[in-house]
Amino acid sequence: MRILLELSTQTFRSDPSAAISYAERARLLAREIDDETSLAYALKNIGLAYYITGDYFQVLENWQRSLEIFESINDRLGISNLTSNIGAVYFNQGDDPKALEYYLRSLQVSEQINDSLRIATALNNIGAVYFNDTSTHDRALDYYSRSLTISEQVGDPEAIGTSAVNLGEIYLDKGEFQRAILYFEKALAAYEQSGGNAPYALYNLGKTYAARGDYRKALEYHRRAFAVADARDARLEMATALVGIGQTQLLSQQYDQAVGTFKQALVLAREVGSLIRIRDAFEGLTEAYARQANYREAFRYQSLLNSIRDTLYTIEKDNRIQGLQFKYDIEKKENQIAMLNKDNALKEVQIQRALTLRNLLYAVAIFLTLTVAGVFYQYWFAKKSNRLIQEERNRSERILLNILPSDTAEELKQNGYVKAKRYERATVLFTDFKRFTEFAEHYPPTELVKSLDYFFRAFDEITSRYQMEKIKTIGDSYMCVGGLPVVDENNPVNAIHAAFEMVEFVKRVKMEQPEGIIPFEMRVGLSTGPVVAGVVGTKKFQYDIWGPTVNIASRMETCSEPGRINISVFTYELVREHFACTYRGRVEAKNGEQLKMYFVDRPLAEDPNIESEGHEAQTSVSPRN
C-alpha cells in the first residue's frame, strides 16, 4: 500500500491516469486493513491527479472525503494540506472568498503544528488571492516575501518555485521587468528540479518579454510552456499558455491567429471550469475582433466578458475577503491576549500569596467576611443567571428551528458546528416571477412585499407536504430541494408534484385576484443530481446547498416559460414513467451551454397510454454535461 501511494505521488503530474490507478488500488487496500490514515492519503492522491487533468468535480469529491477522515482522526498535518488544496480549486474557479476561507484555515492549523513548509504554502496561497485585486498588491507582496524566506530556509524547491513566480508577477505588474525575469528564472530552475509547475514559470517569462516588446522571445517561452503542459495533459496550464500566445499575437498584430488561439484556450478553460482563463479568452477575442472591425463578434464577446467579470469581481466578494482576513487576525490577537491574561493571573496569585503571608490575621478576617457575602451573592446571581440562560435557550431554540432543518439544528447544538454532507440524489427546484423588476418599479414597496409574502407562504406549505426543504428566497426567486436532509428516493416525483401545485396556485391567484395581492406569472425549473449541503457563516448563518445540480436547476428555471415546468435530462430519466413530457431539444443556457430540456405536461396517470413526447430522441448524457 505504501509503495502504491508513493507511485501515485511520483506520477500524478507526468501520468495522471496511472497515478489514479495506483491510488485507487491503495484505497482498496487501506479499506481492507482498516487504515484510516492511508485511506485519506489515497483519496488525496486521486484528487491530485484529477486536479492536473482539470476535473474539479472529481477533485472536490475526493478531497472533501479525505478532509473528513483527517478531521475524524485529528491529523492536523493532513487537515492543513487538504484545506490548502481545496482552496486552490475554489481559487481556480474564481471564488476568491471561498478560497481565502480554506487558505486561512490551512495557515492557522500549520502555525499550530509549527510546520514551516505548510506555513509557506498557505502564505503563498493567501498572497495569490490578494494579487487578484490591484488595490491589495502590497499585501500580496508581503505574503509572498514571507513565504519565500521560509521556503529557502526549509530548502524545498517546489515551495521556492511557487514563491518566486508569485513575486515575479508582482514586479511584472509594477513594470520592473528585469527584476521580474530574475524571479521567474529562479522559479523555473526550482520547478525543473522538483518536477513542479514549470509551464507557469515559462508562461510568465513569455508575458514579461511581450511587455518589453520582444514578441519573438515571448512566443518561444509561451510555446515551451504549452509543450510541457501538453506532455503532462495539464489542461489548465495548456489553457494558460494559449492565452499567453494569443495575447502576444495581439500585440504583434496577428489578429487572425489570435482569434484561433483564444478559441482553443476557451475550449480548454471551459473543460476545467477556470473562470479566470475563460475571462482572459473572452477579453482576447473581444479585442481581436474589434481590431478586425468585426464589431458584431466583438460585442458578443464583450457581453460575455462583462457577465463573467460580474461573477469574478463584486463588492460582496471584496467584503467577504476582508471579513475573513479580519476574522483570522482577530482570532490570532485573541489567542495572544489569552496567553497574556494567563501570565497576569499567575503573577496576581503570587502577589496575593505574599500579602497573605505578611498580613495573615487581617487577611483571615477579610476572607471570612467576603466568603459569607460571596455565598449569598453567588446564590442570588446563579439563580438570576439560570433563569436568563433558560429564557435565551428557549428563544434560541425557536429561532434555530426556523432557520435550519431539525436534524441539522440538533447536530449544531450537540457539536457546535455542522459537518457538510453529500447527497447523491436530490432534486433542486427554482421559481421566479416574470417581469418582477417592472412590477417593482410601478407598485408601492409595501404592496410588493405583501404579495411576495403571500406567494412564498403558500409555497412553504406546498413544499412541506412533499417533504422538500426550503433553502432560501432571493428577491422574487424561491429555492427548495427534495431528498435531504432525510434521504428520499422518490424526491424527483414529489418535487414535480409540488411544482404543479405551485403553478396552479399562481394561476388561481391571477384568476381570483385577492385584494392587495399583485398577480404574477411564474417560471419553474428543476434538476436532479448530487449536491453538498451544510451550514455557512457564524452570524446569520444559513443552511445551503452547492454543486453542479444547483447551477443546472437555475438554468432550467431561466430557460423555462411562464406557467411551465422545465426539467433537465437528469430529472427526466427518473420521472419519465410518471409524467408526460415534451422534449425541447438542446437549448442554449448561460455562457453558451447547450443543455437538453423537457417541459412536464401532466402526470401520466391522466392517460397511461400516452408516451412522453421526444422520448425517442433521448440519448445518454454524462453528469459533466
- CA–CA gap between residue 61 and residue 43 (Å, rounded): 9
Q: What is the pLDDT of residue 624?
A: 31
Residue 451: all three cell numbers together: 404579495
Q: What is the pLDDT of residue 406?
A: 67
- CA–CA gap between residue 419 and residue 344 (Å, rounded): 37
CA proximity to 584, closest of 564, 604, 608, 603: 564
177-181, 183-187, 215-219, 533-537: the lowest-pLDDT one? 533-537
Q: What is the pLDDT of residue 166?
A: 93
- CA–CA gap between residue 129 and residue 95 (Å, rounded): 10
- Owner of C-alpha cell 487572425: 256
pLDDT digits (tens, 9 = 90+) for 38-51: 999 999 999 999 98
Residue 9: all three cell numbers together: 505521488
Q: What is the pLDDT of residue 615?
A: 38
- CA–CA gap between residue 8 and residue 84 (Å, rounded): 19
Residue 535, phi then psi, degrees to nearest 5: -110, 130
Q: Sort 137 into a burial class: Cβ within 10 Å, 0-12 / 13-18 / 19+.
A: middle
CA angle in degrees (0–180, nearest 5) for 245-251-257: 50
- CA–CA gap between residue 602 and residue 613 (Å, rounded): 12
DSSP run (H or E) holding 252: none
Q: What is the pLDDT of residue 92?
A: 83
CB proximity list for 477: less than 8 A, separation 6 or greater = 430, 431, 432, 557
Q: Is the Cβ–Cβ distance between 46 and 62 less than 8 Å?
A: yes
Task: Compute the residue count for the chain.
Answer: 625
- Owner of C-alpha cell 504549452: 226
Q: What is the pLDDT of residue 327?
A: 53
Q: Does the structure show a pLDDT above 50 at 620? A: no
Residue 607 banded pLDDT, cuts 50, 70, 90: very low
pLDDT digits (tens, 9 = 90+) for 481-519: 999 888 889 999 999 999 999 999 999 999 988 988 999
pLDDT digits (tens, 9 = 90+) for 535-582: 877 666 788 899 999 999 999 999 999 999 999 999 999 999 999 999
Helix axes 116-131 and 137-154, enclosed angle (nearest 10): 160
**Mean pLDDT, to the nearest integer, of 340-347?**
57
Q: Does the structure show a pLDDT above 80 at 317? A: no
CA torsion, ordered 236, 241, 242, 246, to nearest 10 deg:
140
Share of the chain above pLDDT 70, in %: 81
DSSP 613: B
pTM for this structure? Answer: 0.44
**Mean pLDDT, to the nearest integer, of 591-617?**
67
Helices (H), 115-212: 116-131, 137-154, 157-174, 177-194, 198-211
pLDDT digits (tens, 9 = 90+) for 51-60: 888 788 899 9
pLDDT digits (tens, 9 = 90+) for 76-126: 999 999 999 999 889 888 888 999 999 999 999 999 999 998 999 999 999
Q: How many helices (H) and strands (E) does the chain have?
A: 24, 8
CA proximity to 51, closest of 93, 95, 22, 80: 93
Q: What is the pLDDT of residue 311?
A: 64
Q: Sort 172 into a burial class: Cβ within 10 Å, 0-12 / 13-18 / 19+.
A: buried
Q: Does the structure show a pLDDT above 90 at 401? A: no
615 vs 461, higher pLDDT: 461
- CA–CA gap between residue 11 and residue 176 (Å, rounded): 37
Residue 342: all three cell numbers together: 494567563
Q: Does the structure show a pLDDT above 80 at 153? A: yes
CB proximity list for 493: less than 8 A, separation 6 or greater = 574, 575, 578, 579
Residue 51, phi then psi, degrees to nearest 5: -60, -40
Q: Does the structure show a pLDDT above 60 at 22? A: yes
Q: Does the structure show a pLDDT above 70 at 255? A: yes
DSSP run (H or E) holding 336: helix 315-358
CA proximity to 46, closest of 81, 74, 11, 91: 11
**Mean pLDDT, to the nearest integer, of 415-441?**
87
Annotate 68-130 with DSSP letters as a single string: HHHHHTT-HHHHHHHHHHHHHHHHHTT-HHHHHHHHHHHHHHHHHHT-HHHHHHHHHHHHHHH
Longest Cα separation, the chain: 101
Average pLDDT, the chain: 85
Residue 503: all three cell numbers together: 403553478
